[in-house]
């Protein structure tokens, strides 16, 4: 068995990461799951949260994802993210301002679709703030 798993993270804008890693921990919709070489095949939707990339037994990189899908094979983990950015690039002030506006949008929503859309965006913004404190 190999000692690395190929990890690829793709957002709608670009390929963010493509390299062999020791382990990756992904925010699946049923909870966080770790991927090591030889992992059982799996497809999962993602919750907003942080992907932790491990090298030498420690977190090497932390990347926020706003949702998406993960496909895992014994050799590879591919994440197709709705939104992705390094945690270090999250601007707390901007996220807090966005969150305030989104909460107002949700309160003023005239349709269920508008309210649900605002609530989904609120969940992403709250996950970004949580990523900054973790």
Residue 83 structure tokens:
């939104």
Residues 6+ apart with CB under 8 A from 46: 26, 27, 28, 29, 65, 67, 68, 69, 70, 79, 81
Give the model's pLDDT for residue 133: 86
pTM score, two decimals?
0.89
Give the model's pLDDT for residue 33: 97
Name which of 83, 114, 117 is nearest 13 in CA terms: 83
- Going by CATH, does the domain composed of 5-87 fall within 2.60.15.10? yes
Each residue's pLDDT expressed in tens, for the chain with a length of 134 residues:
469 999 999 999 899 999 999 999 999 999 999 999 999 999 999 999 999 999 999 999 999 999 999 999 999 999 999 999 999 999 999 999 999 999 998 999 899 999 999 999 999 999 999 999 87
Give the model's pLDDT for residue 62: 97
Q: Any idea what DSSP says for residue 48?
A: S
Question: How many Å apart are CA 98 and CA 88, to the nearest integer?
Answer: 18
Please report, for the chain, the start and end positions of each structural domain, with discontinuous segments joined by +. 5-87, 90-133
Give the model's pLDDT for residue 126: 94
Give the model's pLDDT for residue 1: 47
Count CB-CB contacts under 10 A for residue 12. Answer: 10
């Amino acid at each position: 068995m190999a000692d690395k798993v190929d990890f690829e993270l793709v957002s709608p804008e670009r390929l963010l990461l493509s390299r062999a890693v020791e382990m990756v921990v992904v925010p699946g919709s049923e909870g966080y799951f770790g991927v090591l070489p030889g992992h059982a095949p799996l497809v999962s939707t993602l919750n907003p949260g942080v992907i932790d990339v491990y090298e030498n037994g420690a977190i090497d990189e932390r990347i926020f994802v706003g949702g998406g899908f993960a496909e895992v094979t014994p050799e590879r983990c591919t994440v197709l993210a709705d939104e992705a950015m390094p945690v270090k690039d999250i601007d707390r002030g901007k996220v807090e301002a966005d969150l305030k506006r989104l909460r107002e949008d949700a309160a003023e929503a005239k349709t269920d679709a508008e309210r649900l859309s605002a609530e989904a965006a609120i969940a992403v913004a709250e996950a970004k703030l949580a990523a900054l404190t973790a």
